Structure 1
Amino acid sequence: MIPPTCPTDACCDEEYVLPSVDALMAGTLALMTGYAQAPADGAHRPLMGRKLVSNLFFLAQHPQVSPAMRCMLGNLRTRWLQALEADGPPVRREPTPAASLHEAHGTLQ
């Protein structure tokens, strides 16, 4: 008999069954990786940063996290907030208007 390659409570096709605190931690670490790998002027980078701060807040409040870990997560959240504020507000790029083939009429019928 061949032993299973995955635990019986998890699927083998890239789907994982995690407790909520572990899932939130995994998502936060994935966001941190994405943030670090994104270009500094990337459009999604500020959004990832804000989501990281949010996740760190909820992790610090999670009932399954130890008091020492809560304190560390709270401090980490503060540092992320400071770093994001130092970067300034996200630069919004206005879309360039598409060239029109016809001039618009001044009135509608």
Structure 2
Amino acid sequence: MNHPRQDPAADACQDEEYAMPCAEALLASSLALMTGYVQGCCDDHRTLMAQKIVQQLVSLSQHPMLSPDFKTMLWNLHTRWLQQLRLDSAAEMLPPSDPPNASLWHKTHEVLQ
């Protein structure tokens, strides 16, 4: 009887979901959200990601398994992300800027000298 070969990387991902303690999982997801926020190509999701980051940093800063110094650092990060969230929210409320007048753009030369 032939058993299908399982992908060890897929197994590791499944195991990883349940192997991390709560604080580490929350920290890992916060770092993933921060990475997504910075690398994100569409602004539609950035505010939602920033909101979730702020929420998770608050939760982490109150986690009983973390040291007081680490909690302070997390609270400081929370404050910075909260400021970023406010900037993002304010930017969303601004009307979209008009694109520059394309008729004023220079045409490219066929050959550069």
TM-score grouping bracket, smaller chain normalisation: 0.5 to 0.7
Query: Is the helix fraction higher in 1 or 2?
Result: 2
Give distance in 1, aligned partners of 2:67 and 2:39.
Answer: 30
Given that 1:21 and 1:59 are in contact with CA atoms closer than 8 Å, whether structure 2 keeps it comes out as yes
Which residue of structure 2 lines up, in the alignment, with residue 82 of structure 1? 83
Please list the CA deviations of residues 42-93 of structure 1 after superposition, one character each: whole Å capped at 9, or x if unmatched. Answer: 211100000000000000000011000000000110011112212334638x
Amino acid at match of 2:29: G
What is the match of residue 40 of structure 2?
38
Kindly tell me the number of residue pairs found equivalent between the two proteins. Answer: 82
TM-score (norm 2): 0.65
Matched, 1:69 2:70: yes
5+ residue gaps, structure 1, are: 1-5, 93-109
* CA–CA distance in structure 2, aligned partners of residues 30 and 71 of structure 1: 21
| Contact map agreement 1:28 1:55 (CA 8 A) in 2 | yes
Q: Structure 1: how far apart are the matches of 2:36 and 2:73?
A: 22
Identity of aligned residues (%): 44
Residue 48 of structure 1: aligned partner = 49
Q: Secondary structure at the match of 2:11?
A: coil
1:106 alignment counterpart: none
**What is the identity, as a one-letter code, of the residue corresponding to 1:66?**
S
Q: Where has structure 1 moved over 4 Å in runs of 4 or more?
A: none
Cα contact 2:47–2:88 (8 A) shared by 1? no
8 A Cα contact 1:46 1:90, kept in partner: no
Please give the alpha-carbon distance, in whole angstroms, between the structure 1 residues aligned to 2:43 and 2:88. 13
